[in-house]
């Protein structure tokens, strides 16, 4: 589950002109999850099984 702090980090790094790939490597998340966090207005995500 992504929490508010992680989503805030993703958005901050993206504003600092970091690529999605760099963000995913640094935070050890998949590129798909990073993309989802950037596109959505939500502040928390739960993984669906």
Q: Does 18 map to a domain?
A: yes
pLDDT at position 44 is 65
pLDDT at position 47 is 65
pLDDT tens sequence across 1-49: 678 899 999 999 999 999 999 999 999 999 999 999 999 877 766 666 7
* pTM for this entry: 0.80
Q: Does 33 map to a domain?
A: yes
pLDDT at position 4 is 86
Q: Does 45 map to a domain?
A: no
Q: Does 27 map to a domain?
A: yes
* Non-local CB neighbours of 48 within 8 Å, separated by 6+ positions: none
- Structural domain including 12 reads 4-39
State the total domains in the chain.
1
């Amino acid at each position: 589950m992504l929490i508010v702090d992680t989503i805030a980090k993703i958005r901050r790094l993206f504003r600092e002109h970091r690529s999605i790939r760099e963000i995913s490597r640094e935070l050890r998340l998949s590129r798909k999850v990073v993309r989802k966090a950037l596109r959505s207005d939500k502040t928390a995500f739960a993984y669906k099984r």
